[in-house]
Amino acid sequence: MTISHLLGRLKALQPHPARRDAVSTLAGSDAPSPGHSPNIPEGAARLAEILGAKTRSNRFGEHLALRKWFSEPVASAPDLGVPDGELNFEALRLMAPGAPKGVADPRQWLFLDTETTGLAGGTGTYPFLIGIAWWDAGGLEVEQFFMRDYSEEHSVLVALAERMAERPVLVTFNGKSFDWPLLETRFRMTRCVRAPVPSAHLDFLHPARSLWRLRIGSVRLAELELNVLGWNRGADMASVMIPQIYFDYLRGGAPEPLVPIFHHNQMDLRGLAALATRTLSLLGNAETHGHDGLELFGVSRICERRGDAVRARKLYAQSIARDLPRETDRAAKSSLARIAKREGDLELACGLWESILGNSREGFEAYEQLAIYYEHRAREPQRAAGLARKALLELRNANRLGAIPSSAYRERRLSFERRLARLERKAGRSLLDALESESRTVVGESNDDQANGGKFHGRIG
């Protein structure tokens, strides 16, 4: 970023002289409440006219508000619209363990997305546009609160707090890491507006990573809309441009460039609502709603992390039967083998480990698990030693080809070398015991023969 841009941002943070004079004039008993802006940028009125927005006021001053209703979250996917009745509570528990029963009531949900003066967060970052949405009247109601000036922050935060009191289940996309911590900071910095406490916070970025990153790579909301929901939002505002457009407006620039930011925020909220519906249908009924093996594999991982081993085992098996990509297939078989081992199904576990032996993380784990099985359960140290030797050979080849990090190579090599040394000692003792046993048997038979022979000869004599 150039120095001129940085100076422009600093200048945008300073109130205009006319605003400072107006505030000084109003000082005293007639001074406005914190957050009142006596002199907002000239373009604010034009912006309200373009958008059809209205000025709202509360005890802390005014702000601009816009409401718009959409018949369905995404036009190309009507089946991802408003939930019919209670949401699947078991699916929600996979996302938010310990969530109250009320989380399954869609009337309690409030979708949230912010547009800010910076993408890195921090105490100097302002959420100048706060978008919220909720399911209503068979569609999605979207409401947006806009700070026409920094001094309207208090008023905007109060409006948000009022809405959250009505709908306490917060729903975001990456909001746990960015939007909500930023808003909590802004609430604290007001020193007079208490931050609301959601009864539950559902963030759909994390399940999206488990469900779709292997298939589409990027899990940006726009990419999920296109590749999962089948919705192309078309021309859109680049997020990196948003802060500068707001700074330009504060310095007296034209309000028209702000309009696409409002549309961008609306599309994010609509995409989030549709993604929530799709995710919950998949988490609750993956067996029938899963489109491919990768989705089933993603749900399996979520179930396993949440302790639902029964469903995880079933879905891992189904995902393997769907012809997964090679790497994912190994991961699914390794996970299923781990569950089978815990449940005592060693026949299934060993079969899965045998199928993934090779030069991969899962392959080396399979070598180790099979060596453990043959050493401790099957009591075949020689076979376990043979697996350890094969694993060391695979490791050396992987290291020579640069297919394994040096630290991982050293760690695994040391582990297999120690195991092999112990197994060879154990196998050696077993062989020695066998030889001694065979020797004792031969000696015993010889003594018997001699005894029998003596008696025979004695009888002849």
What does the DSSP assignment read for 203-272?
ESHHHHHHHHHHHHS---HHHHHHHTS-----S---GGGHHHHHHHHHTT--SGGGHHHHHHHHHHHHHH
Q: Which CATH superfamily is domain 3-17+34-284 in?
A: Ribonuclease H-like superfamily/Ribonuclease H (3.30.420.10)
Residue 175 has pLDDT above 90, yes or no: yes
Residue 427 to residue 421: CA distance in whole angstroms:
10
Average pLDDT (206-223) is 93
Is the Cβ–Cβ distance between 80 and 277 less than 8 Å? Answer: yes
Is the Cβ–Cβ distance between 300 and 292 less than 8 Å? Answer: no
Predicted local distance difference test score (pLDDT) of residue 109: 96
Average pLDDT (150-171) is 96
Q: What is the pLDDT of residues 326-373, one digit of tens each?
A: 999 999 999 999 999 999 999 999 999 999 999 999 999 999 999 999
Predicted local distance difference test score (pLDDT) of residue 346: 96
Counting Cβ atoms within 10 Å, is residue 303 exposed (0-12), middle (13-18) or buried (19+)?
A: buried
Average pLDDT (413-420) is 94
Residue 206 has pLDDT above 50, yes or no: yes
Task: Kindly give the interhelix angle for 205-216 and 293-305, rounded to the nearest 10 degrees.
Answer: 140
Is the Cβ–Cβ distance between 29 and 122 less than 8 Å? Answer: no
Residue 123 has pLDDT above 90, yes or no: no
Torsions phi, psi for 443 (to 5 deg): -60, -40
Residue 359 to residue 392: CA distance in whole angstroms:
10
Query: 18-31 burial, b for 16+ CB within 10 Å, e for fewer?
Result: ebeeebeeeeeeee
Residue 198 has pLDDT above 70, yes or no: yes
Cβ neighbours of residue 437 closer than 8 Å, sequence gap 6 or more:
none
Predicted local distance difference test score (pLDDT) of residue 72: 74
Q: Of 423, 430, 428, 326, nearest to 368 (Cα)? A: 423
Average pLDDT (29-47) is 65
Is the Cβ–Cβ distance between 313 and 336 less than 8 Å? Answer: yes
Predicted local distance difference test score (pLDDT) of residue 459: 37
Residue 127 to residue 149: CA distance in whole angstroms:
11
Cβ neighbours of residue 236 closer than 8 Å, sequence gap 6 or more:
222, 260, 263, 264, 267
Residue 8 has pLDDT above 80, yes or no: no
Average pLDDT (195-210) is 95
Q: Is 252 left (phi over 0), alpha (psi -120 to 50) or beta?
A: left
Q: What is the pLDDT of residues 40-63, one digit of tens each?
A: 898 999 999 999 999 999 999 999
Predicted local distance difference test score (pLDDT) of residue 279: 94
| Structure token pair of residue 106 | 């869609």
Is the Cβ–Cβ distance between 190 and 224 less than 8 Å? Answer: no
- Band the pLDDT of 19: cuts 50, 70, 90: very low
Predicted local distance difference test score (pLDDT) of residue 245: 96
Average pLDDT (256-274) is 96
Average pLDDT (138-162) is 95
**Beta-strand relationship, 109-115 and 200-203:** unpaired
Is the Cβ–Cβ distance between 35 and 61 less than 8 Å? Answer: yes
Over the chain, what is the mean pLDDT? 85
- Band the pLDDT of 278: cuts 50, 70, 90: very high
Q: What is the pLDDT of residues 82-116, one digit of tens each?
A: 676 788 898 999 998 888 888 999 999 999 999 99
Residue 297 has pLDDT above 90, yes or no: yes
Q: What is the pTM of this model?
A: 0.81
Q: Please tell me the number of Cα atoms within 13 Å of 56 on its side-chain side.
A: 21
Domain range list for the chain: 3-17+34-284, 286-339, 357-436
Residue 305 has pLDDT above 50, yes or no: yes
